Amino acid sequence: MSSIVPGPQKKIGEEIDAARSGAKPLDASALNATAPRQEELTGFDDWPESLRAAIEAEHARVAALDSNRRRTADKAVPELVHCLDALLDEIAARLQSDKPRLFGKATPAAEPSAEVAELLGIPADELDQPSGRGEHRMALRTIKLLRGQLKDLETTPDHSRLTRLATFTIRLALVVEAAPESATTLAPIALSRFTQGVSDFQWETTFADKLRSWQQARNTLTTN
């Protein structure tokens, strides 16, 4: 005996009826028969909420782009912008708290970690750059500039630029959270390189590869 498989519209109706009756929760992906089910991210239970939210927002945008759903990707931009702006706030706050003092004996900056520098894409020959008040002021101005770029991208999404900005911001926020002693010296260098448009090794890698890299880096930094 042959069986009849319900069509997409009937299937959606059945899902809604089942949810209304309380038989099962509504699966949002079922409302769009052409939309693939988004893979759930795992391994972030002990991450700060701000970082986790930004990664999830970026994942939603990238997943939509990968499945050729440009409108869905555009709709994901405001949430991503909000999350990245929150991370920039945290980065700026860290730089403000660690800025060199104008008077008195300055507290020696910690020797920057080569491992953290590598994560940020900073070559070893740039680690001896000065990190005084001028560099910190420039870094804070750069953060303000990035906020302006985010507002522009929220209004007129450019997904290539968003990928670069999201990758950079999430990674720098990860360093600020997991290796704050290195962030004081390395954040101004990383921000300067970004504004100069220096090529970044993670810009062209897949989201899955970035995710593995970030998880491995945080695990290493927080267990050392």
**What is the three-class DSSP state of 32?**
coil
**Under 8 Å between Cβ of 139 and 192:** yes
Torsion on CA atoms 109, 114, 118, 119, rounded to nearest 10: -60
**Residue 206 CA, distance from chain mean position:** 13
Q: Left (φ > 0), alpha (ψ -120 to 50) or beta: where does 26 sit?
A: beta
Q: Look at residue 24 in the predicted model and tell me its pLDDT.
A: 59
What backbone torsions phi and psi does residue 28 show, to the nearest 5 degrees?
Answer: -60, -35
The residue extents of the domains of the chain are: 85-100+112-223
Side chain identity, residue 145: L
Residue scoring higher pLDDT (200 or 25) = 200
* Residue-wise pLDDT tens digits, 142-200: 999 999 999 999 999 999 999 999 999 999 999 999 999 888 889 999 999 999 988 88
**Under 8 Å between Cβ of 50 and 83:** yes
